[in-house]
Amino acid sequence: MKRAKTIAIVAGFGFFFLALIIQAIVPYVMKQYKTVQYAVTKTVRTPLGLLTQVKTQAVPYTDVLAKGRTIFMHEGCWYCHSQFTRPVAGETRRWGPLPEVGEYAYDLPHLLSTRRIGPDILRVGGKYGDDWHAAHYFDPRMVVPDSVMPRFTWFFKKEGDHFVLNDDGKAIVAYVQNLGMSRGKWRDEFPYQIAAQGSAPAFTAKESVDHGKEVYLRRCVGCHGEKGDGKGTAPSLVQFAVALPRDFTSGQFKFRTTQTGALPTDADLYRTITAGIRGTAMPTWFNLSEDDRWDVIHYVKTFDPDFGAIPPEQPLYIPQAPKPDADLIAKGKLTYEDLKCWECHGQEGRGDGEKSDTLKDDFDNKILPANFTTGVFKGGPRPEDIYRTVMTGLNGTPMPSNFDAVTQQNIDPWALAYYILSFSADKQ
Amino acid sequence: MATTFPFLKIIRFLNIYILNGKAKLMQSENNLVNNKIVKQWLMWGFFWGIVAPTMGILLSLKFNYPDFLSNEYFHFGRLRPVHTNGVIFGVFSTIFLGLVNYMVPKLTGVKMYKDEWSKYTMWLWNLSLFAGFAGVLLGYNKGLEVDEFPNPVGLGFIISLVLISYQVFMSIAQRKEEKIYVALWYTIAALIWTDLNLVFGNFVLPYIMPGVSNAALHGLFLHYVVGLWITPGGLAIIYYFLSAASKTPIYSHRLSLVGFWSLAFVYPFVGIHHYLFAPTPYWTQTIAIVTSMLLIVPVWAVVANFYGTLMGGKWGLAQSDFTVKLLIFGAAMYFIGSTQGSLEALRSVQVPTHFTDFVIAHSHSTVFGGYVVFTLAACYYVWPRVAGTGYSRTVAQWSSWMIMLGISTMIAVLILQGLIQGTELVAGAEFVDSVVTMKPYWMIRTFTGITMDIGVALVGLNLYYSKTARTTP
């Protein structure tokens, strides 16, 4: 070849720009990709307390989120955590719904990433609570002993005996918790993390308990502690702002289908482990095999001898939820008045009732009544979950059982359940 | 004083004799090449050849000892770009740019145009590397997967490279050899592509077209760095030095034409294959897959050309000549790694292997096993000629085998890891469980890394500290 210019112009400039135009510029300006660019399918709650999907738009990052995203980028978090799930390899089951173009509308530069040394985090928002993230940033091995993630201790400052997130730490937790949130309440209808009832294996073999212990030591010990007393290393080092880990030796379990004060059934524990306790440090464990989940329950029960001594109770029967209408919601509002829910939870469900400042749980810790408007329901977001909490109360907390009131005063607990859900209705 | 005078005279005489002799030798061979500049570029390459792989070892240790160096400035996310860019812009690029200063005068028959500039471009390039590394370690990562350096550090690379490009083009314009050898085609293309690409990556890509379109741009940029800088640069090296070291003309001119033009046309399109199954337009992904598979054409063409060159009874040189030895090995790695890369772009292959160490195996077998090994091979040829010194054959033998065994074992382990973790996840394993499975393999990988990194360091140290006179013809 004799002509250097041919090489320079055709190969050097020509092919470079040809590829750039075909592979990036053309798709960007094509009309069909423009029109879908900002559409996001969002799961919202209607004023009737039901979930539905609407087409909406992603919102720009607020200052805190933008700061968190910058930290995420600067620290190189994205080298190991991708931000797109694929329609293959069971990823929609593992992490959540597929991404849409519109969800990335404000990502500049994008952070899709090409490697997963850690899990994909496109849908991580809401999977863990802020307390879990704090503990995890402080030392990932506290909560995930097999993790290979670095510690991010410079996101913390010391206050008293505990480490709390500083401004950078708060920003990055806010950013991570916001991931996938343009899809709204998708997690409330994510089928894999809902365990409606489930039935435990009737026979508990020693092997099962032993395996449960292995699971416990790899997944639970950081918060609940080796003795199951809720005094793991995580809550002893990092400030848990929302709720402390359960003390399994206390015999107090919040989310049950059994009567107030009674121990939960295995199925209750299974449901809590599967779905997690939203807003708190307790994550969802639906990715664990069913055997792992059942066996760890058998192990957790060994912390409290009462589990073996007291025969299990007949659980509450939760019937099929009715379809709500405006009348049912109105009826629920009256029930909310009658049962004096507003004394703690407030007239508008914000958890700011007149008694709300004075409440303490059985461990003498200050406790806040649930704020229904956030849409974060610890016991679960389904009407059946609210029904259960209304009927059986939350052990160890001031939340009473309304079982007697319901049966004696002919109250419809479904009306109350849907009314409570309707507090978290999204503005259209 | 008087008694010592004759003694000094003898010393001076001998000195002059030796120096002149050496100078004469170099003069006769390299009267076009600016030896000092080439030497300095290569020295920087040796330096980065110790630094960048060491970072890789530190990083790989973090897989098994995550608390090791887990502080604000040296945790995985900040150290990783030092390793990747250290290899790409440090080891490979500094040696390649040194070799450009050697090859271009040889191939054009004229001195490098304004070769005094090279002093400045060399310092600018290396200082930019230092500044960039300081930038990412202090936490100013730009969010690209290569060239993460904060702006305006990128400007240093761009100015440096544009000046070098200008020198090369002017030299070619003034050339005395009418025909342009294939190594020069690749050099011309690599320089133009990368001038454009660095401007694009540093000053355009981070600021336009948000969202998945930005991912498309980034995929292209990312693959332009490996495909339109390292690949043509590396191929220029092997085309020149395989011929030069074996004293054989290249096997087929036609094959080199096929290889060059198919690479030039196809390679720019492949970048989107980093984001298959992402919500980018499906057809752009398909184009990326088709072109990735088409890359088999240039890869196999050039590898056939290399091995064809050795067919005329030159294979024996692999035993006596370290340049040929490493080039043969590097070409094999290039062949394996690039073919794996093409297959990796297939959707069905990506289902289990994407996001795993399978891809990391590909990047190590090509960038290290192929191109960095090419540059090291060329150093065995060029350094004795520009420095006038020889090197220890024993050390060279050890280092070659450490490099070859190290990288071969590493890519075997990484491919295995990727397939294991990928299939495990497809089968529905919990994610952390799949990470636990990887840990013993990561340990092996650390040892393979240490092995090959010692090998690389020995190449530089062996050449740089050699006191013996050059013996190779």
**Chain A residues within 8 A of B192 when measuring between CB atoms:** 8, 11-13, 16
Q: Between residues 2 and 61 of chain B, which touch chain A (CB distance below 8 Å)?
A: none
Q: Do B432 and A144 touch (CB under 8 A)?
A: yes
Q: Do B278 and A7 touch (CB under 8 A)?
A: no
Q: What is the ipTM of this complex?
A: 0.93
pLDDT for B374-384, tens place per residue?
Answer: 999 999 999 99
Q: Which residue has the tokens 């936490």?
A: B139
**Chain B residues within 8 A of A289 when measuring between CB atoms:** 430
Residue of A20, A32, A82 to mutate when probing chain B, most B C-beta within 10 A? A20
The pTM for the full model equals 0.92
In this prediction, the residues of chain A whose per-residue pLDDT falls under 70 are: 1-2, 31-37, 196-203, 428
Report yes or no: B471 and B390 within 8 Å, Cβ to Cβ: yes
* pLDDT at residue A37, as a whole number: 59
Report yes or no: B126 and B410 within 8 Å, Cβ to Cβ: no
pLDDT tens for chain B, residues 1 to 473: 444 444 445 444 444 444 444 444 344 445 789 999 999 999 999 999 999 999 999 999 999 999 999 889 999 999 999 999 999 999 999 999 999 999 999 999 999 999 889 999 999 999 999 999 999 999 999 999 999 999 889 999 999 999 999 999 999 999 998 889 999 999 999 999 999 999 999 999 999 888 888 999 999 999 999 999 999 999 999 999 999 999 999 999 899 999 999 999 999 999 999 999 998 889 999 999 999 999 999 999 999 999 999 988 889 998 889 999 999 999 999 999 999 999 999 999 999 999 999 999 999 999 999 999 999 999 999 999 999 999 999 999 999 999 999 999 999 999 999 999 999 999 999 999 999 999 999 999 999 999 999 999 999 999 999 888 776 55
**Chain B residues within 8 A of A22 when measuring between CB atoms:** 269, 284, 287
Angle CA B235–B238–B239, to nearest 5: 80
* pLDDT at residue A261, as a whole number: 87
| Span between the terminal Cα atoms of chain A, in Å | 67
Q: Which residue has the tokens 């690949």?
A: B231
At B460 the three-state DSSP class reads helix
Token representation of residue A149 = 């993630």
* pLDDT at residue A164, as a whole number: 96
CA proximity to B261, closest of A18, A15, A23, A19: A15
* pLDDT at residue A24, as a whole number: 87
**Chain B residues within 8 A of A80 when measuring between CB atoms:** 76-77
Q: Pairing mode, if any, of strands A40-45 and A51-56?
A: antiparallel
DSSP H helical ranges for B295-392: 296-309, 317-320, 322-344, 347-353, 357-363, 373-387
| B163 contact A CB<8A | no
Of B63, B78, B197, Cβ closest to residue A75:
B78
CA proximity to A425, closest of A348, A346, A319, A323: A348
Report yes or no: B308 and B298 within 8 Å, Cβ to Cβ: no
* pLDDT at residue A389, as a whole number: 93
Report yes or no: B230 and B172 within 8 Å, Cβ to Cβ: no
List all residues 6 or more positions away from A121 whose beta carbon is below 8 Å from its beta carbon: A81, A82, A83, A176, A179
Q: Which residue has the tokens 């003069």?
A: B27
Q: Do B76 and A99 touch (CB under 8 A)?
A: no
